[in-house]
A and B are shown apart, each in its own frame.
Chain A
Amino acid sequence: MSRTRTARWVRQVRPLFTVYLPVLAYVLFALFPLYFMLVTSLKSNAELYDVNAVPFWISRGLTAEHYGLLSTDTPFWSWFANSLIVSVASTVVSVVLSVLAAYPLARLRFAGSASFGIAIFVTYLVPPSLLFLPLTNVVNWLGLSDTLWALIIVYPTFLVPFCTWLLLGYFRTVPKEIEECAMLDGCSRLQSMLFILLPAAVPGVICAALFAFTLSWNEFLYSLVFVSPAELKTMTVGVFSELIRGDIYYWGSLMAGATIGSLPIVVAYVFFLDYYVSGLTSGAIK
Chain B
Amino acid sequence: MTKLSVTDPRSPRRRQFLRTAAGSAAGLAGILALRQAPAYAQSRELTFLTIASFVPDTDKELKRQLEEWGAKNNVKVRLDIIAHLQLQTKKAAEVQARSGHDLTALGPGLGDADLYFDHLADLKDLADEVAPKNGGWLSPNDYLVRGKWTLLPWWQPPFPMAIRTDLLEQIGEKNPDTWEDWLRIGKKGKAIGHPFGTALGHSADANTTMLSILWSYGGSYVAKDGETVTINSPETREAMEFVKRLYTEAMDPEVLAWDDASNNRCLNAGKCIAIHNPISAFESAKKDKILVPGTQKPIAEVIDHIITPRGPKDRKATTGFWCVGIWNFSKNIELAKDFLRFHFQPENQAKWVEAGHGFNMPFLNNLTNHAVYKSDPQYRHIPEVAKVTVPPSWPGPTTAASQQIWDLYIIPDMFAQYATGRMPLDQAIAWGEKEMRAIYNSKRRT
Contacts and interface: CB of A to CB of B under 8 A. Distances in A.
A228 B260 contact: no
A51 B271 contact: yes
A134 B283 CA distance: 41
A249 B90 CA distance: 21
A140 B83 contact: no
Interface stretch (A15-23, A152-160, A240-248): A240-248
A52 interface: yes
A212 B47 CA distance: 33
A247 B99 contact: no
Interface residues on B, range: 35 or more
A224 B80 contact: no
Nearest to A45: B288
A9 interface: no
A239 to B, nearest CB: 10
B261 A248 contact: yes
B6 interface: no
Contacts of A229: 78, 80
B184 interface: no
A97 interface: no
A225 interface: yes
Contacts of A177: none
Interface string B265-282: 100111100000110110
Interface string A205-238: 0000000000000000100110011100000010
Contact of A245 (B53, B89, B289): B53
A241 B81 contact: yes
CB-CB nearest 4 A-B residue pairs: A246-B54, A45-B288, A228-B80, A247-B260
Interface string B238-266: 00000000000000000000001101110
Residue of B97, B270, B289, B291 with highest tally of chain A CB at under 10 A: B97
B25 interface: no
Contacts of A244: 52, 83, 85
Given A145-B100, A245-B52, A51 B270 contact: yes
Given A224-B86, A246-B260, A46 B35 contact: no
Contact of B99 (A50, A52, A134, A140): A140
B302 to A, nearest CB: 14
Nearest to B99: A140
Contacts of B264: 247-248
Contacts of B280: 246-248
Contacts of A221: 89
Interface in A130-158: 132-134, 136-137, 139-143, 145
A145 B101 CA distance: 11
A246 B97 contact: no
Given A230-B80, A246-B260, 4 more contacts: A46-B291, A139-B97, A241-B83, A242-B81
Interface string A39-53: 000000110011110
A49 B288 contact: yes
B35 A143 contact: yes
A224 B291 contact: no
B258 to A, nearest CB: 10
B93 A49 contact: no
A52 B293 contact: yes
B30 to A, nearest CB: 13
Given A136-B93, A143-B35, A249 B52 contact: no
A49 B268 contact: yes
Interface in B56-104: 56, 78, 80-86, 89-90, 92-94, 96-97, 99-101
Interface in B10-61: 32, 35, 47, 49, 51-56
Nearest to B281: A247
A228 B85 contact: no
B290 interface: yes
Residue of A139, A241, A245 with highest tally of chain B CB at under 10 A: A245
B92 A133 contact: yes
A49 to B, nearest CB: 5
B93 A46 contact: no
Given A46-B288, A228-B80, A244-B83, A132 B93 contact: yes
Contacts of B278: 247
